[in-house]
Amino acid sequence: MAIQSTTVLKRLSDIGIGKIAVIKSFENNEIFLKLMEMGCVPGEKVRVEQKAPLGDPIAITVAGYNLSLRIDEAENIFVEEL
């Protein structure tokens, strides 16, 4: 009997402060290049550092530097929480 892996993907916008996740994929291809240029590439670990009081923007650490993302950008990034 094979063991199935049940990876639960979440949107980066749904990850809590202080949590670490791995980028898996993007929903919107229009911002794909912009996010990749900022270091948001599949397989990269991200840590949610802060969220604004109303949730927009959020601050993350990715590829060794801090980055601020609008909530609509973060909603297009699918991650696996560690």
Whether 47 shows a pLDDT value over 70: the answer reads: yes
For the entire predicted model, the pTM comes to 0.83
- pLDDT, mean of residues 58-80: 92
Structural domain includes residue 1: no
Determine the pLDDT at residue 51: 93
Determine the pLDDT at residue 62: 92
Are 50 and 17 in contact by the 8 Å Cβ rule? The answer is yes
CA dist 50 and 52 (Å) reads 7
Structural domain includes residue 2: no
Residue range of the domain that includes 46: 10-81
Determine the pLDDT at residue 44: 94
Question: Number of structural domains, the chain?
Answer: 1
Whether 6 shows a pLDDT value over 70: the answer reads: no
Structural domain includes residue 18: yes
Structural domain includes residue 27: yes
Structural domain includes residue 32: yes
Structural domain includes residue 5: no
The CATH number given to whatever domain includes residue 30 is: 2.30.30.90
Determine the pLDDT at residue 2: 56
Determine the pLDDT at residue 13: 93
